[in-house]
Amino acid sequence: MIKNFLLIVWTIFLLEFADKTQIAAVSFASRQNPFLVYTGAVLGISIATIISVAIGGLIGYALPTKYVKLVAGALFIIVGIWTMFSK
């Protein structure tokens, strides 16, 4: 169980590092109270994560894992291609 938890923490850290949220936090912290920026960022990410986990839990309950992985993989590929070709 701890191994799975650490895998989740490490994966989320790597995926979130230097993304738009991090850049926004740096920008806000350069002009605002860093404690308020930290607190706001943690709260915002927490709310988004709660929503994501709730939706993921419902989807995981309703559909077989095989299909969830297939759709998630397809969405990542589609977003990647769209990002490459968008202006």
Q: Give the Cα separation of 79 and 72 in Å (integer).
A: 11
pLDDT at position 20 = 86
Q: Please, what are the averages of pLDDT over each run of 10 residues along the chain (87 residues)?
A: 94 86 93 96 95 93 93 93 87
Domain ranges, residue 20: 2-85
For position 17, what pLDDT does the model report?
A: 82
Number of structural domains (the chain) is: 1
Q: Evaluate if pTM is beyond 0.85.
A: no
User: What sign does the dihedral 8-10-16-22 (CA atoms) show?
Assistant: positive
